[in-house]
């Protein structure tokens, strides 16, 4: 990973009109990856005031598995900053200390593992208009981390020596790499010690008045699998892993929206199923919060092949963005370029900062405009194309790339709208769902825009007439932004019955003809597409009839986890179900019971629940058939657990009874139930985190709660006795 320090840092303002924003740099890495050393090396040579806030959450997360008798110790100290006078503190105290330092204008290193989104979210919230949030990911080879842990002494949290490797192994199994969509403005990935040295130099060179470019740096493959757990390296040749010996074989393929899908050869003897769908989106998949925000990604118009002056172009961009800010609502504009050393991005960033333009609603991004989601984690429902006047592929640059990524569907859709375009104008083209840009990137519209030409080798050259050129460029950006606003403003008004696939706010509701309408992002349409056309998804479908489709969940939360889809349009969620749908719900329940009989015949220890989520994350009503062992590596977060073990999960028998008696089902409060503490679904004991909960439920012998043992909520029906030893 190369980093040009001189180009990475914005030159100091000679008149020092504005002070550089404080940075909250969240370090991400396993124990032994060098987080504390990274902080110390930067702080030793930096002229910017840095504070290191350290919480040794590696103990907090997993010490009970290996160090049951170990007393947790944490140190939160650097540059005169202490918590509890240097004594052990808590995560809230860390947050308080970091917030206080940022308020004082200091930059902060958050020195803790931060290996998943849930661990990072509170620290990311420290950001705002006056604070930039960065992530520095120390994703070094696992063997290197092991060797450091085994050798080190005097560690602040006493996580050292050979036994510590087991702790790190457990932590790496649930690792989630950060994405810009979490709220980061910059993410630096370090894959080796050379990358770390370069990152240290970059952050050391950032002075009090300097800023760093936004975007992702050093990430070779954002969809790459997590490194092998440490225990793989520690095993003796004759040792085997009982999980590895299970007859289920897993391989990886790339699925829609850039997701990793698993090919599963079931231990039950069922044929191999290539599964592409999950009730829960993958770690690298579209973020629900992110997809709620209409976003336009656009390149700099006319500054590449048309050779428009960069200074003048940056003035036009910033001026037009400022003009449209009040009209955007919650929508966002993102200026995109491929290279970290882009001069147009640097100019625009500096001028936007001078005008105090909200960096949450307008920002720059380094990446391929055709792969913003799959490669950069940025959800954009609209992208702009710097088109040629003929509106045809070719010519190189952005135009060729977008037409190539959009496929024949984009070219055909463009021809339906127009055959040519005049400078200063834009053309909005709805993208067909057959386009790869739609299915993989979540793009619903491409806006072709044509700017002024200063290149004598291209048509309509203005011969350096920048008076006319700037006017044409202003018109081009005005047309582009107006086209985007027309998309953002009309998406919420499309009735659900139209079947339109939209990428606007996925939970935004509007009153249309007296009913609430919900729009769905493209990557949340997969279940709907399979239900409507199962014949096109033979490899995923386990069973199909006129009423239902059955398939496995790609990220099962238990040993057995099926989805039974309703095959009727307009039945998107449980809230849509009415009395006329009761025969269909009964049919779905019966199909689920048949599959339960099959699974129980193969493994008599399994117990199942059949039910619906009150508010599903994917379109098309579907019944979960899930075993109650919850033995799955995909069960990682509180929301996973609470969505199946609280009142948020509506048992099928209760839903059918309510609809029969009341005409509709009761929808439970999602926000309240998802935030509830983690409790065992059998004995109802409370647990501080998912690893401890999973350790407990693997051996809990308590009977299921009495309410679950009634009315056939558990299948097979259970008695008051506990689990068989």
> Which of 483, 462, 278, 256 has its CA nearest to residue 373?
256
The helix (H) or strand (E) run that includes residue 723 is: none
How far apart CA 519 and CA 502 sit, in angstroms, is 6
The first and second tokens of residue 428, run together, are 């909005």
How far apart CA 495 and CA 514 sit, in angstroms, is 11
State how far Cα 497 lies from the chain centre: 29
CB-CB contact of 226 with 252 (8 Å): no
CB-CB contact of 228 with 142 (8 Å): yes
CB-CB contact of 384 with 334 (8 Å): no
How far apart CA 88 and CA 200 sit, in angstroms, is 28
The first and second tokens of residue 370, run together, are 């055709």
User: If 0-12 CB within 10 Å is exposed, 13-18 middle and 19+ buried, where does residue 373 land?
Assistant: buried
> Which of 368, 114, 385 has its CA nearest to residue 216?
368
**Distance from the first to the final alpha carbon of the chain:** 54
The helix (H) or strand (E) run that includes residue 714 is: strand 714-715
Q: Sign of dihedral through CA atoms 380, 382, 383, 384?
A: negative
Tell me whether strands 445-449 and 260-265 are parallel, antiparallel or unpaired. Answer: unpaired
The first and second tokens of residue 274, run together, are 């290539």
The first and second tokens of residue 26, run together, are 């969240």
CB-CB contact of 551 with 530 (8 Å): yes
The first and second tokens of residue 279, run together, are 């009730």
The helix (H) or strand (E) run that includes residue 385 is: strand 382-386
Catalytic residue of the set 581, 622, 624, 634: 622
Residues shown for the chain:
725
Cis previous bond, 223, omega within 30: no
How far apart CA 675 and CA 290 sit, in angstroms, is 20
How far apart CA 447 and CA 486 sit, in angstroms, is 11
Coil vs helix vs strand at 261 = strand
Concerning whether 561 is annotated as a catalytic residue, the answer is: no
- The residues annotated as belonging to the active site are 622
């Amino acid at each position: 990973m190369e980093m040009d320090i001189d180009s990475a840092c914005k030159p100091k303002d000679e008149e020092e009109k504005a002070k550089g924003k404080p940075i909250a740099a969240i370090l991400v890495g396993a124990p032994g990856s060098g987080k504390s050393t990274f902080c110390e090396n930067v702080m030793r040579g930096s002229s910017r005031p840095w504070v290191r806030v350290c919480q040794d959450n590696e103990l907090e997360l997993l010490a009970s598995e290996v160090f049951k008798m170990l007393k947790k110790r944490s140190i939160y100290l650097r540059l005169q900053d202490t918590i509890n006078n240097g004594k052990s503190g808590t995560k809230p105290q860390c947050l308080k200390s970091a917030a206080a330092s940022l308020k004082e204008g200091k930059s902060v290193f958050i020195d803790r593992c931060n290996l998943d989104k849930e661990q990072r979210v509170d620290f990311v919230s420290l950001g705002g208009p006056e604070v930039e949030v960065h992530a520095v990911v120390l994703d070094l080879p696992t063997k290197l981390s092991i060797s450091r842990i085994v050798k080190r002494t005097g560690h602040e949290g006493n996580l050292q020596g050979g036994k510590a490797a087991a702790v790190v192994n457990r932590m790496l199994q649930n690792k989630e790499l950060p994405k810009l969509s979490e709220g980061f403005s910059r993410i630096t990935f370090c894959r080796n010690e050379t990358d770390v040295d370069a990152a240290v130099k970059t952050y050391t060179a950032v002075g009090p008045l300097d800023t760093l470019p936004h975007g992702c740096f050093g990430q070779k493959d954002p969809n790459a699998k997590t490194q092998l757990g440490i225990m793989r390296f520690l095993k003796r040749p004759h040792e085997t892993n009982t999980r590895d010996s299970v007859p289920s074989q897993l391989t990886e393929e790339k699925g829609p929206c850039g997701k990793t899908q698993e090919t599963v050869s079931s231990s039950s003897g069922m044929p191999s199923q290539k599964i592409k769908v999950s009730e829960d989106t993958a770690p690298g998949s579209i973020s629900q919060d992110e997809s709620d925000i209409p976003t336009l990604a656009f390149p700099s118009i006319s500054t590449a092949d048309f050779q428009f002056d960069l200074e003048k172009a940056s003035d036009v961009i910033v001026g037009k963005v400022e003009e449209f800010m009040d009209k955007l609502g919650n929508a966002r504009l993102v200026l995109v370029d491929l290279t970290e050393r882009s001069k147009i991005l640097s100019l625009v960033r500096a001028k936007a900062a001078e005008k105090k333009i909200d960096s949450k609603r307008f920002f720059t991004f380094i990446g391929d405009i055709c792969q913003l989601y799959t490669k950069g984690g940025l959800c954009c429902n609209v992208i702009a194309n710097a088109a040629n006047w003929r509106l045809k592929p070719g010519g190189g640059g952005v135009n060729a790339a977008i037409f190539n990524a959009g496929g024949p569907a984009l070219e055909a859709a463009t021809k339906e709208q127009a055959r040519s375009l005049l400078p200063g104008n834009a053309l909005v083209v709805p993208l067909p769902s057959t386009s790869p840009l739609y299915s993989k990137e979540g793009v619903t519209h491409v806006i072709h825009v044509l700017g002024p030409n200063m290149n004598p080798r291209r048509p309509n050259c203005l011969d350096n007439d920048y008076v006319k050129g700037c006017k044409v460029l202003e018109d081009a950006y005005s047309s582009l932004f107006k086209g985007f606003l027309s998309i953002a403003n009309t998406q919420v008004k499309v009735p659900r019955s139209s079947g339109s696939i939209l990428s606007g706010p996925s939970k935004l509701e509007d009153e249309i003809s007296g009913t609430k309408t919900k729009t769905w992002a493209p990557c949340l349409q997969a279940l709907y597409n399979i239900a409507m056309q199962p014949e096109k998804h033979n490899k995923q479908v386990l069973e199909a009839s006129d009423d239902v489709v059955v398939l496995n969940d790609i990220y099962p939360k238990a040993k057995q986890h099926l989805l039974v889809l309703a095959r009727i349009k307009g039945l998107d969620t449980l809230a849509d179900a009415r009395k006329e749908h009761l025969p269909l719900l009964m049919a779905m329940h019966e199909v689920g019971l048949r599959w339960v009989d099959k699974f129980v015949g193969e493994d008599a220890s399994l117990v199942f629940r059949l039910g619906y989520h009150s508010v599903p994350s994917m379109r098309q009503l579907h019944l979960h058939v899930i075993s109650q062992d919850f033995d799955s590596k995909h069960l990682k977060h509180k929301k996973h657990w609470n969505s199946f073990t609280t009142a948020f999960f509506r048992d099928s028998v209760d839903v059918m009874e309510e609809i029969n008696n009341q005409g509709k089902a009761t929808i439970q409060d999602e926000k309240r139930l998802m935030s509830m503490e983690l409790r065992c679904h059998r004995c109802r004991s409370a647990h501080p985190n998912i690893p401890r909960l999973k350790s407990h439920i693997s051996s809990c012998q308590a009977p299921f709660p009495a309410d679950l043992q009634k009315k056939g909520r558990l299948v097979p029906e259970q008695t008051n006795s506990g689990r068989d030893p």
